[in-house]
Amino acid sequence: MKNFKIFLLLILSIKISSLELFGAEPPAKLDKNNITKFDVNKEQEIQLNLPDENEMFYVTILALKKGAKITIKNVGVYQNLTNSEEKENILNKEIKLTEQFNKDIRYINFSVNEDCEVEVSSILKNQFKEYQSIEYKIDTEISVEKNNFVIFLKDEDVEKFEMKFNFKDDIKEKDVTYGFIFLPTESPEYLVLGKHYKRYNSKLQELKFDAAAKQIKVDNPYYKEDKETNKEHLAFIFSIDCEDKMIEKFSFTINSEIINVFLIVSIIIALIFAVITFFLIRRKQTTEGTNIEGGENLYKKNEKEEKEEATEN
């Protein structure tokens, strides 16, 4: 009996050591809007259970180690995958959950080919948590009809954003998460609320809006830096923490500091040229006036001399 207890304690000790070495166990059930990171052993099979609700569900499974490969072992709802993107290091799954899928088949099983950290994002379709994808534009007022928006910057070389927002009063006292971030996909359906990214990304900023009109300046911490491992898409996200209500339509404008400096310099140069041109014109007019006056005097003098000569004769 004593040996049996020692044997159980040994097994428990090994289990605890394993958890300390490889991190916490993955979530048994995926949240409706969340992002989770956990460590996975090589060839370990992980099961992710899906929500009970019947709605479109978006899952991203991302290996955070260069060269790591993810393999789907079994998908209980595989026949109802309406769209999917599969690469060696990332799997994006769009799943239409319906009543015909009972709990026994609401799962996804996967493994990785080497020990690595895995990031799982899960989003149950919800109008309050959706992102509006917006094209990057400078000095243009842009309207937003959703609570959250994302700007994928692609090859744009952006150092910072200077932004001006105009809301209705319903933004007051709302918490907002915003900033630059590298994402594994350019599909806005797969993006979780900004507050969840903030837990793993200290470079994002948080702000409680106290006024309907506000200006913010956002530095790009990734400016001139390399991309994150297996995350290729630099973006700017703005996410309002409001999961049960639509914020009224609002707008914002991005004013690039570089553009502003260029405009200021251009205006100064134009003013300098205008002043120089003005003085050149004045000088020319003065010179011409002097020449005309001198010519008239010379003509009158010559005419007087001719009259005097005629009188003497």
Task: Give percent above pLDDT 90 in the chain.
Answer: 53
Q: How confident is the model at residue 312 (pLDDT cuts 50, 70, 90)?
A: low
Tell me if residue 58 falls in helix, strand or coil.
strand
Closest Cα partner for 30 from 117, 113, 118, 90? 118
Q: Please state the separation of Cα 13 from the chain's center in Å.
A: 44
CATH architecture under which domain 24-124 falls: Sandwich (2.60)
Q: For residue 18, which amino acid is it?
A: S
**Residue for token pair 């790009």:** 220
pLDDT of residue 124: 96
Q: What is the pTM of this model?
A: 0.73
For the stretch 45-101, pLDDT in tens is 899 999 999 999 999 999 999 989 998 877 776 555 544 555 678 888 888 888 877
pLDDT of residue 73: 78
Q: Are strands 233-240 and 148-152 parallel, antiparallel or unpaired?
A: antiparallel
- The answer to whether 205 and 177 have CB atoms below 8 angstroms apart is yes
pLDDT of residue 246: 95
Q: What are phi and psi of 56, to 5 degrees?
A: -65, 135
Structure tokens, 181:
């971030």
Average pLDDT over residues 164-182: 96
pLDDT of residue 20: 36
- The answer to whether 129 and 172 have CB atoms below 8 angstroms apart is no
Q: Are strands 148-152 and 205-208 parallel, antiparallel or unpaired?
A: unpaired
pLDDT of residue 247: 95
pLDDT of residue 309: 59
Give me the DSSP letters along 236-254.
EEEEE--SSSPPPPEEEEE
292 or 26: whose pLDDT is higher?
Answer: 26
pLDDT of residue 100: 79
In this structure, is the dihedral angle defined by the CA atoms of residues 253, 256, 261 and 263, taken in order, positive or negative?
Answer: negative
Contacts 24+ apart (CB under 8 A), 255-263: 255/138, 255/139, 255/162, 255/163, 255/164, 256/138, 256/139, 256/161, 256/162, 257/159, 257/160, 257/162, 258/159, 259/138, 259/139, 260/162
- The answer to whether 25 and 77 have CB atoms below 8 angstroms apart is no
pLDDT of residue 185: 94
Give me the DSSP letters along 182-211.
EES-S-GGGPPPHHHHHTT-TTSEEEE--S
- Whether the predicted pLDDT of 188 surpasses 60: yes
Arithmetic mean of pLDDT over the chain: 82
- Which range of 14-28, 122-136, 221-235, 282-296 scores highest in mean pLDDT? It is 122-136
Task: Give percent above pLDDT 70 in the chain.
Answer: 74
Angle (CA) 197-199-200 rounded to 5° is: 75
Contacts 24+ apart (CB under 8 A), 27-32: 27/120, 30/59, 30/120, 30/122, 31/122, 32/122, 32/123, 32/124, 32/126
Q: How confident is the model at residue 15 (pLDDT cuts 50, 70, 90)?
A: very low
CATH fold, domain 131-255, is Jelly Rolls (2.60.120)
pLDDT of residue 200: 95
For the stretch 249-282, pLDDT in tens is 999 999 976 544 555 666 788 778 777 876 777 7
- The answer to whether 208 and 242 have CB atoms below 8 angstroms apart is no
Average pLDDT over residues 205-222: 95
pLDDT of residue 1: 53
pLDDT of residue 14: 38
Q: What are phi and psi of 207, to 5 degrees?
A: -155, 140
